[in-house]
Structure 1
Amino acid sequence: MIKTYRLFIKSIKLFILFLFFIDFSYGQTHFNSSNEKIRYYKERYKVQNAYEKITDNHGNGFESLYGTRNMRVILFGVAYRGGANNYYHKTNKRDNKNPLPADGIMNLSKEGFSTAVYLYNTNYNDSLQLFVNENSKDTLWYLQNSLNSRAKIRELMLLVKSAIDNPQKGPIYLHCWNGWHQSGFSAALILMQFCKITNEQALEYWRLNTDGLFEGYEHIEKRIYEFRPFDDINISDSTRMQICPCLK
């Protein structure tokens, strides 16, 4: 019985992902064009490059995004990275190794995000995996992807490409625990895929965004250095100019 139930739940999750990848329109419908969406989030968060933080290490700095930590842009209006504010949470403190707190999921939805991706799997099954905004009826899907294979990395790239192409899909929030290592890894791969930065540039970017805590993560550095973008997942030069942040 338990095995059958688990298979049923897995089937439901796969069906949800299938709907996402065929561009089934749900959730955010606030923008008439991708340009409008990109412009809105650039003006909303006011960061100029890939290093500035929207929320700080304690989750402060942008109250409407409380529940996140060390949040930074990856692609303007498309993808953002950071951590989950658990250890420093003002009212719901818990162990750092956990998914987003409930208010983090709610606030991302209110900010127009369509998807959040937890880059570890610790306690993911205990978290809220679908949030529906009571006022706007917008939805936020909370997915899990540890990026532990090239197939899983491709899945992420297709998710990002869908958010680039469809103005009705809000941004994606990719997060680990602190917003340093695994979220930085995902961001480095995305920047190589869509912004055409080199492996060396991606590695430097990853190190600079760990707040100095990059020692002992040679396994991540190796994967960044060895990554090769997917030839069949592309964007135009004009789109690249709009969404890619400054890395200088």
Structure 2
Amino acid sequence: MMKPAERAFLICAAFALISGAAVVGLPLAARAPAQEAATASPGLSTSVDAYSRRYAGLSTPFDSIMDDRGTGFAGVAGTRNFRVVLRGILYRGGANNAYGDFRLADQKRRQGPLQARALQNLCKEGFADAFFAYGNRALHETVNCARDRGSNVLSYRGLRPQSPGSDRREFLRILHDQITGPDHRPVFVHCWNGYHASGIAAAVALRQFCGISAEDAVAYWKSEAPSLPEPAQTKSIDQIRNFSPIPELTLTPADQKIVCYGGALVGQKAVYRLPKAASATPARTRSL
């Protein structure tokens, strides 16, 4: 005859199997997914924290350490409206080809790609990739530079992640690799001003990796992009609203917590903000 203690154990075990609860002695393979989901990608937190300290003025996605005329943090000179999207991983902005030392005489070239000096600065900041959202596949440069601790290689390409298609998927795959793989160096995506195309790319990335809603993503884009004439405004909004996140590029909750901004994205306005410690330094030479 079965003893009461044995009967109680079998009843508890059966209930646990039916409900999906963990049971002592269950194979490790059956428990691995939950354990994996709770663990962040190795080295990610360290890299993200380092860039968060480096760009201390970027406490929210609405802050910028370079203003609309390319004045601000000297480390990313040659860009404009430099903002964070995914902490330590993705930054957005525009090209400074029209102001200060970076001003180009040719009007058409002002709406072109980043200049060599700007690319050198991004390389020295440790960026892995930079993408020009209005460029085509013919634009592809490799930039080498020396850094305080060794060297770096930056890849600069024309890629259009603001539009549905293979470019967008490649952009999101690269970001996913930078988050989950061994190389956590950041990525920079830019357009002319840092408003519209780079903003769409950023909004899509926030939908893919941070799980924000379509309407919150649209509100985020509008907060940093002056209204476009129709039908461009509606088309831009639709490019964000109609995006469906790619299941195989989903992040674990642990990685999301590291790279995603946890504050509200609705009702915010873009601002230009430098850390208080740098406020007394002349604008063109400020550094963090």
TM score, norm. by length of structure 1: 0.81
What code does the residue aligned with 1:155 have? Answer: E
CA deviation after TM superposition for structure 1 residue 247, in Å: 3.7
Q: Distance in 2 between matches of 1:150 and 1:128?
A: 19
Contact 2:135–2:157 (CA<8 Å) still a contact in 1? Answer: no
Contact 1:115–1:171 (CA<8 Å) still a contact in 2? Answer: yes
Matched, 1:44 2:54: yes
Identity of aligned residues (%): 30
CA deviation after TM superposition for structure 1 residue 92, in Å: 4.2
Q: Distance in 1 between matches of 2:172 and 2:256?
A: 15
Match of 1:168 in 2: 183
Matched, 1:202 2:217: yes
Match of 2:134 in 1: 120
Highest CA radius of gyration, 1 or 2? 2
Match of 2:254 in 1: 238
Contact 2:143–2:153 (CA<8 Å) still a contact in 1? Answer: yes
Q: Distance in 1 between matches of 2:240 and 2:192?
A: 19
Match of 1:184 in 2: 199
What code does the residue aligned with 1:225 have? Answer: R
Match of 1:220 in 2: 236
Residue of 37, 52, 74 corresponding to 1:63: 74
Q: Distance in 1 between matches of 2:82 and 2:60?
A: 12
Unaligned runs of 5+ in 1: 1-31
CA deviation after TM superposition for structure 1 residue 67, in Å: 0.7
Residues 226 and 149 (structure 1 numbering): CA distance in 2 closer, same or farther, change over 3 Å? closer
Unaligned runs of 5+ in 2: 1-41, 266-288
Matched, 1:155 2:155: no
CA deviation after TM superposition for structure 1 residue 154, in Å: 1.0
What is the CA RMSD across the aligned residues, in angstroms? 1.9
CA deviation after TM superposition for structure 1 residue 191, in Å: 0.1
Secondary structure at 1:140's aligned position in 2?
A: strand
Residues 203 and 34 (structure 1 numbering): CA distance in 2 closer, same or farther, change over 3 Å? same
What is the aligned residue count? 214
Contact 2:164–2:239 (CA<8 Å) still a contact in 1? Answer: no
Residue of 44, 65, 78 corresponding to 2:89: 78
